[in-house]
């Protein structure tokens, strides 16, 4: 029984992940989740240890989607190309559910830092900053100016995402985000080449 139940962990996690993409994570109740995915609360508790263990596993599953995006960005792309590729992914309507889950999880990691969301915001910020650093020349990336530049790009993308999810006005938000990316990544006249 134990081996059979634990071997179902990947299957149960994927089914639970599809469920939370539709219903959210904050008010997650095990009974409706178990009913929807053809399991039981006892099996879910056994496989994931607790509701908090399941939430933590779901957050890591969501992060896996985020990390997968980072693998499709070309290795030799500059920061503007990387940021634009990330924005296209963020603005793609097919990603709306995962992004709403991300926003929910990000906010909860700030509100409940000791709960299963603890550290989620910090980890995702670090993931994105690491990706943007790969888009900078080494002489720029390892400087305070390089860190400020990629932090500003991240702030623009995150703000644009929140605005897009709140309004659905993709043309307006995309124009603003692309303009900001251009302003943040275009070398200034007279700037030292890194």
Q: Is the pLDDT of residue 164 over 90?
A: yes
Q: Look up residue 162 and give its two tokens.
A: 């929140």
Give the tokens for residue 174: 């995309």
- Report the C-alpha gap between 41 and 44 in whole angstroms: 5
* Options 1.20.1440.230, 1.10.357.10, 3.30.420.40, 1.10.4160.10; CATH of 2-185: 1.10.357.10
Write out pLDDT tens, residues 86-119.
Answer: 999 999 998 898 899 889 989 999 998 888 888 9
Global pTM value: 0.82
Write out the two tokens for 68: 């997968």
SS (H, E, C) 79-93: HHHHHHHHHHHHHCH
Phi and psi (nearest 5°) for 78? -85, 175
Domain positions in the chain: 2-185
Q: 89, 87, 92, 90: which is closest to 182 by C-alpha?
A: 87
pLDDT band per the 50, 70, 90 thresholds, residue 174: very high
- CA-wise closest residue to 173 among 106, 88, 80, 104: 88
Which pLDDT belongs to residue 189? 52
In tens, the pLDDT along 21-74 reads 898 887 889 999 999 999 999 999 999 999 999 998 998 898 888 778 777 777
CA-wise closest residue to 124 among 78, 86, 165: 86
């Amino acid at each position: 029984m134990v081996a059979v139940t634990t071997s179902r962990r990947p299957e149960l996690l994927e089914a639970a992940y599809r469920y939370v993409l539709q219903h959210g994570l904050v008010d997650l109740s095990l009974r409706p989740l178990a009913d929807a995915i053809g399991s039981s609360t006892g099996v879910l508790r056994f496989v994931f240890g607790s509701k908090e263990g399941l939430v933590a596993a779901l957050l890591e599953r969501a992060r896996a989607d985020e990390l997968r995006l980072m693998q499709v960005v070309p290795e030799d792309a500059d920061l503007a190309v990387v940021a634009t590729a990330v924005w296209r992914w963020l603005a793609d309507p097919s990603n709306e559910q995962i992004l709403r889950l991300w926003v929910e999880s990000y906010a909860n990691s700030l509100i409940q830092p000791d709960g299963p969301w603890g550290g989620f915001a910090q980890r995702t910020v670090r993931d994105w900053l690491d990706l943007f650093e790969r888009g900078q020349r080494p002489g720029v990336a390892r400087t305070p100016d390089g860190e400020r530049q990629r932090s500003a790009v991240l702030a623009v993308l995150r703000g644009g995402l929140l605005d897009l999810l709140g309004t659905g006005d993709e043309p307006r938000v995309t124009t603003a985000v692309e303009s900001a990316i251009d302003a943040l990544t275009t070398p200034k006249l007279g700037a030292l080449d890194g």
